[in-house]
């Protein structure tokens, strides 16, 4: 109930701050970008449209998650709006979770609308969509759950600018964790290899949620994989959120 109240308020704040204008940019980028590139391609208009849709969802979603997420708690502390809230009979973690879920609701709305726009656009162009496109869109959203959780954690710890830089680096790097496993064969059996393996499992692996290539080329992805990736995202977000709650619990405001 209290979590819902905070979440609802966070959602309303973001909406009244016109964060959803990002949808407009999404539409412009997708339509202009895919149109401009589509006409010189070899029978690839629809693939390019799908690529643009999914990549724009990932990028714009991440932008919302990073910029709104990293200032989520910090802004409340900085503007002292928090004083009257924390002094209410509620746990601090309820506040953190409320903020998180408020932003997640916003992202759900944003990505849901983007998916709907993409679907409509692709249908208008005469294409058809397979299940894998929606799997890719869902995993895109799940990726943003992890990114948002990380942003919330950092917003409890640092200033929004530093937080945004860190989350952005993690976003880029999170897609590249595969390099830790793709070591050249001369590392086989060495300590370094095991060390990198440990790191591989510690850092968030955002490439798990990247089905763009499969979605655009209609390569089916098993439901088992989707389920593993969803479970992974949920568990990792939970880790980050618990850490965010702990960090916020002991904070002097």
DSSP 54-114: HHHHHHHHHHHHHHHHHHHHHHHHHTTTHHHHHTSSS-HHHHHHHHHHHHHHHHHHHHHHH
210 binds another protein (CB under 8 A): yes
For another protein, the binding residue among 24, 28, 81, 190 (CB under 8 A) is 81
- Closest CB to another protein among 44 and 113? 44
Of the candidate spans 115-123, 158-166, 188-196, 212-220, the one that interacts with another protein by CB under 8 A turns out to be 212-220
Instruction: Give the interface size with another protein as a residue count (CB under 8 A).
Output: 78
- Minimal CA–CA distance to 64: which of 25, 8, 96, 119? 25
90 forms part of the interface with another protein (CB under 8 A): yes
In the numeric block, which tokens belong to residue 228?
């593993």
Residue 247: partners with Cβ closer than 8 Å, 6 or more residues away? 153, 156, 157
Output the smallest distance, CB 199 to another protein, in A: 12
236 near another protein, judged by CB under 8 A: yes
Q: Which of residues 189 and 250 has its CB atom nearest to another protein in the complex?
A: 250
Contact flag: residue 13 with another protein (CB under 8 A): yes
Stretch that binds another protein, among 54-62, 101-109, 113-121, 156-164 (CB under 8 A): 54-62
* Nearest by Cα to 13 from 63, 59, 58, 75: 75
* Pairwise CA distance, residues 153 & 232, whole Å: 18
> What is the closest distance, in whole angstroms, from the C-beta atom of residue 34 to another protein in the complex?
9
Nearest distance, CB of residue 56 and another protein, angstroms: 9
Least distance between another protein and beta carbon 110 (Å): 17
Q: Judge contact between 107 and 148, C-beta under 8 A.
A: yes
If one asks whether residue 47 binds another protein (CB under 8 A), the answer comes out as yes
Residue 227 host element (H or E) = helix 223-249
User: Which among 182, 184, 183, 187 is positioned nearest to 207, based on CA atoms?
Assistant: 182
Q: CA-based Rg of the chain, rounded to a whole angstrom?
A: 20
Residues 14-43 touching another protein, rule: CB under 8 A, are 16-17, 37, 40-43
Q: Which of residues 97-116 bind another protein (CB under 8 A)?
A: none
Site for another protein in 174-203 (CB under 8 A): 175-176, 178-179, 182, 184, 201
């Amino acid at each position: 109930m209290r979590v819902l109240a905070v979440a609802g308020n966070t959602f309303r704040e973001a909406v009244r701050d016109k964060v959803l204008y990002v949808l407009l940019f999404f539409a412009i980028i997708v339509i202009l970008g895919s149109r401009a590139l589509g006409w010189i391609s070899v029978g690839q208009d629809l693939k390019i449209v799908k690529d643009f849709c999914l990549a724009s969802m990932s990028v714009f979603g991440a932008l919302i998650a990073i910029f709104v997420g990293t200032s989520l708690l910090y802004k409340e502390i900085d503007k002292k709006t928090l004083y009257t809230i924390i002094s209410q009979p509620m746990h601090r973690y309820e506040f953190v979770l409320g903020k998180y879920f408020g932003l997640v609701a916003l992202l759900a709305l944003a990505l849901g609308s983007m998916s709907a726009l993409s679907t409509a656009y692709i249908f208008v162009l005469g294409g058809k969509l397979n299940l894998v496109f929606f799997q890719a869109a869902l995993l895109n959203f799940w990726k943003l759950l992890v990114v948002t959780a990380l942003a919330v954690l950092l917003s409890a710890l640092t200033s929004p600018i530093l937080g945004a830089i860190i989350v952005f680096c993690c976003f880029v790097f999170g897609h590249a964790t595969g390099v830790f496993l793709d070591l050249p064969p001369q590392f086989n059996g060495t300590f370094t290899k095991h060390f990198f393996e440990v790191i591989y499992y510690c850092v968030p692996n955002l490439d798990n949620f990247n089905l763009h290539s499969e979605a655009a080329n209609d390569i089916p992805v098993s439901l088992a994989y989707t389920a593993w990736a969803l479970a992974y995202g949920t568990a990792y977000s939970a880790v980050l959120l618990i850490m965010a709650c702990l960090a916020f619990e002991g904070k002097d405001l």
